[in-house]
Amino acid sequence: MAPHLNIVPSMFVLLLLFISASKVESDAFDVVAKFGAKADGKTDLSKPFLDAWKEACASVTPSTVVIPKGTYLLSKVNLEGPCKAPIEINVQGTIVAPADPSAFKDPNWVRFYSIENFKMFGGGIFDGKGSIAYEKNTCENREFRAKLPVSIRFDFVTNALIQDITSKDSKLFHINVFACKNITLERLKIEAPDESPNTDGIHMGKSEGVNIIASDIKTGDDCISIGDGTKNMVVKEVTCGPGHGISIGSLGKFQNEEPVEGIKVSNCTITNTSNGARIKTWPGEQGGAVSEIHFEDITMNNVSSPILIDQQYCPWNKCKKNEESKVKLSNISFKNIRGTSALPEAIKFICSGSSPCQNVELADIDIKHNGAEPATSQCLNVKPITSGKLNPIPCSGPVPKTPSATA
C-alpha cells in the first residue's frame, strides 16, 4: 500500500506571504464610492463591478476591489486576467442573482478567468435565488438545465485563497473549479435546500493543489464532487449534510478523461446524507484511472451509504447496465471511520468485473446501523486489505444481483 500523501502545497505558504504583503500597500477600488454602485437591491452591479475590476487589474501595485455592506443585484459578471499585480476582492455585502432562470443564456453568473495571485474574502454572501430553477430542473428538462448558471466559477486561476464567503441557493453548482492550480477554499459556508437538484457545493476538474478547509456545506447534491484530472487535493475539517456526501466522480462517462490521483479527505463530519465517502463510475462507457485516494478520521451520522465504491453508477437508468465499468480503481483506503448508517448496508464495494478494484484498505471501522438489523458489508470484485477493529465485518453481506442505484 502506498503511503498517504501530505499534499497541502508549499505554494500555499507563499500565497499567505503574498496576502500579508499586499495588505500593506493595496490600493482600494470601492464600487460604491468610486464607481457609483447602489446597494438598493435593484440597480445592476455588473458595470460598476467590472469597471472596478478592470482598473484594479491594470494597477501595477497590489489592489483591492471593495463591495461594501448592503444588498446588490448582479445580472452577471466575467472578471478576467491576467492582472499586472496581486489582486483581492473584499466582499462585505450580499450579492443577489436574478431569480428568473431565463435571465441567463449561458452557465455563468460570477466568473473568474485567467488570474494569478488572487484573494476573495470579507464575509459576504452570493445569493443565487435558485427556488424557481429547482421547480423546473428535472431529468426530462435537460435543455433547461444546460442554461442554468454556476454561481461562482474559477477557470484557470493560480495561487488563490477564497476565504469567509457564503454561497446560498445556487441555481446549479455553487462553486466550480476548473483548470486551477494551488487554490485554497477556507471557512466557506454553502447552503441550499436538501431537495435542490444538481446544486453541488464545490465541484472541480483538471485542477491540481486544491485545498478545501474548515467549511460547512449543506446542499441538495454532492457536498464536494471531484472530477477527472484532479490531482494532489486535500479536504479537511469539512461538515457535510444534507447532500450526497463527498464524492470522487462520477467518472467514465466522457472520452479522454484524465486520471484522478492523490486525494486525501480527513477530519470531516457527514450527517443525514445519501452517501458518505464515495467513488462512482459509469458502467460500459469510457476508461479512466483513480488512485491514491484516502478517506480517514471521518464521522458519519445517519448516512444511508457511509462507505461506497459504486462502479455501476446509473442514477437515471440510462446507461449500459449490462456492461462493466472501464475505470481502473487502485490504492484506496478508508481508515478510522465511525458513526451510524441509515441503512443496513454500511459498506458497499461494487467494483468492475473486467477491471477489479486493487489495494482497497479498510482499517478501524465502526459503523452501526440505526435500525434493528446489524450493519453489513457488501463486496463485489474486490478483496479488501483489513486491519484494526472492523464493524461491520468486511464482505459479510450478500450482493444483490442488481445493486440499488445511488444518487
Residue 56: phi, psi to the nearest 5? -65, -40
Rg (alpha carbons) of the chain, rounded to whole number: 22
Q: Which residue has the cell 484594479?
A: 56
Secondary structure of residue 341 in the 3-state scheme: strand
Find residue 72's DSSP bridge partners. Answer: 95
E strands present in 342-384:
345-350, 358-369, 376-380
Displacement of CA 165 from its chain's centroid (Å): 15
- Greatest distance between any 2 Cα atoms in the chain: 67
Cβ neighbours of 144 (radius 10 Å) = 14
Secondary structure element (H or E) that encloses residue 56, with its range: helix 46-58
Query: What H or E segment, with its residue span, contains residue 143?
Result: helix 142-146
Select which of 4, 174, 203, 244 is catalytic.
Answer: 244
Can you tell me which residue has the cell 501595477?
60
Write down the H helix ranges in 167-235: none
Residue 244 falls in the annotated catalytic set: yes
Single-letter amino acid, residue 45: L
How many whole angstroms separate alpha carbon 168 and alpha carbon 51? 26
CB 309 within 8 A of CB 357: yes
Q: To 5 degrees, how large is the angle CA 302–CA 303–CA 307?
A: 135
Burial of 223 (0-12, 13-18, 19+ CB in 10 A): buried
The catalytic site residues sit at 244
